[in-house]
Structure formats: structure tokens, C-alpha cells
Amino acid sequence: MATALFCGDIAFDVALRVARFPDPDQKTHAFENLVSAGGVAANSAVACARQGIDTALLAVVGDDVFGTYSREFLAARGVDVTGVTTAPGRTALSVCTLAEDGEKRLVYTSSVSQYPPLERVRGADLAGVDWIHTSCLHPEGAAVLAERARAAGIPMSIDLELLALAHGMDALAPTLSGAAVVFINEQTAAAIGDVPGFSARHRLKSVVRTGGLRGAALTYGFDEIAVAPPPADRIIDTTGAGDCLAGVYIARFLSGADPHAALRAAVASATYACGHLGAQGGYPNRATTDELLATAWPKKPSPNRKPKP
């Protein structure tokens, strides 16, 4: 069984749905709420584990009740949290409020749980790991992990957020070099500009560019494959959809799917997740993703055979 290691952040997430946002000095009641462990790395790890892949998380939480809850929450969803350590301080807290018209307001606090310290990254056991996924928000730690992955011959994928570009490409280059997949959204792609040129400069094997409810595109060199999302019954919350897409893509690739098939499964899963509250509230398991694929892209009968009655 393939094993995927996710390295990065954990947060304690609170998601609230309200009829409308309150005016100043007023309050309103949420008609739906969800509390969970979140964060880019944690979300992607859960999405991958839900697809049946052995999944481990290398991270740190604060020594507070949020950290304890987050570890237990992730473990209950099939993520190996033995690599999640505790540090003095508070776990990151994220509060997302969504109105019925789809408007979203997000408040996030930084904390000790943003990225594991360098000594943890240097000492992490990579034996038996078949894939590594991380972010570039902490370039120094990510660069150490990337160098270890290259030395061990382990494929690595990277979530490249717009905020990470503020560090400068010189700081990000050691992490990006030779990556198997780099996941970017539309804002990051716009900031980069020439995505194929960016891919060539850093010798990336591929780039997955997410387009929200328009699906995603996979770039190999100067070739591109676009995948439109299947029809969605409803869109409630897009939080964590990109993390879901990354986790499912990795899981399907490790399961033997080609990149195009892996991206279709990832897009279908992320679209499905948007119909539920919270980052992980609607992450599908493997069987559900298979059902989504069969509905959205049914297999066509062979041209040499007549369909069965």
C-alpha cells in the first residue's frame, strides 16, 4: 500500500452559516455550524486518506484544547498523527462565516501550528513514504524537506499559495526544483504570468491550476489538459476545495491512475465538497468519488460493439 506524507499546518476550524451578516454591534444566530481540524496540510491529508491511501501528517499543534481536539479529529479520519508533535503556544484558529447569498468572511490567527520546526523536518522518518506534499509558506523548512525527498527519490508535490510568492522566487526555488506537481490557483497563476515558462525554469514535472467552479487544468511542459467540473446540485462552501483536489489527485495517482484520470477524480471530489459546510464537511470517500465519476463521465461503449439492451 502506498503511503503519502503531508507536511505543514493544522488549524482549529469553525464554520458558521447565517441568514445574513450582523450590522455593527449586533448579533445573529447561525442555522448551521461545523467544528473540525483544518489547515492546508491537514485538509489535504484527510482528502487523501478518505480515498483509501495510507496517510501520515508531519505537523505541530499548540499545547491547548484546540491542539488536542485537532489530533483526535484527524486520527478519527484515518490520518496517522504520530508525526504531529506539541509545542508551547496556541493552535491556529480559523473562523469562517457564510451568508446565504454565498458571501464569505474568514478570520485566521497565526500560531505555532503553521509548520513543523526545522529539527522535526530534518529528523522525520521517510522510510516507506511514496509521496510527499507540502506548502511554501515556510521556505526554509520546505526546502529541507524537498532536498530530503530528492535524495530519497520520493516524488513531491507543492501547494503554492499566492502569499508564498512574497518570499521571492530565490527563496522558493530550492523547494520547487524538480517537483512532481505544483498546485496553484487562479490568483497565483496570474501573479506568475507565464506558467509554462515558470514550469520550465524550475524543471517541474507538471502544474495543476485550479479554477474554482470552472474546474482545473493540468500542464505538462507546453501541453495542457482541462477538466470541467460535473454539474453541482448546490454550492454552499468553497473553503478547502483546493485542498480536497490536491489530496484526491495524489491518492488517485498513487493508486495507479494516469494524471488525466487523477485530475477528473480530484475535480469531481472538490466540486462535491463545495456542496457541504466546512473545509472537510463533504470530502468524499473512494466509493463516492467513483460514483461521481460514473455519473459525470460515463464510459462509452466500444465502437465495435453494440450496447447491451
pLDDT in tens, 33-63: 989 999 999 999 999 999 999 999 999 999 9
Q: How confident is the model at residue 308 (pLDDT cuts 50, 70, 90)?
A: very low
Whole-angstrom distance, CA of residue 200 vs CA of residue 131: 22
Whole-angstrom distance, CA of residue 254 vs CA of residue 297: 21
Mean of pLDDT over the chain? 91
Least trusted range by pLDDT, from 125-134, 177-186, 245-254, 291-300: 291-300
Least trusted range by pLDDT, from 48-57, 69-78, 103-112: 103-112
Q: Give the per-residue pLDDT at 299.
A: 65
Whole-angstrom distance, CA of residue 139 vs CA of residue 145: 10
Q: Give the per-residue pLDDT at 302.
A: 46
Q: Cα–chain-centroid distance for residue 232?
A: 20
Q: What is the pLDDT of residues 7-30, one digit of tens each?
A: 999 999 999 999 989 889 999 999
Question: Does 187 or 277 have the greater pLDDT score?
Answer: 187
CB–CB of 74/46 below 8 Å?
Answer: yes
Q: How confident is the model at residue 309 (pLDDT cuts 50, 70, 90)?
A: very low
Q: Give the per-residue pLDDT at 258.
A: 93
Question: Average pLDDT for residues 159-173, to the nearest whole number?
Answer: 94
Q: Give the per-residue pLDDT at 63.
A: 96
- Which residues have C-beta within 8 Å of that of residue 195, sequence separation ≥ 6? 184, 189, 207, 209, 219
Query: One-letter amino acid identity for 252?
Result: R
Q: Give the per-residue pLDDT at 175.
A: 97
Q: How confident is the model at residue 1 (pLDDT cuts 50, 70, 90)?
A: low
Least trusted range by pLDDT, from 72-81, 143-152, 205-214, 216-225: 216-225
Q: How confident is the model at residue 220 (pLDDT cuts 50, 70, 90)?
A: confident
What is the three-class DSSP state of 215? coil
Q: How confident is the model at residue 101 (pLDDT cuts 50, 70, 90)?
A: confident
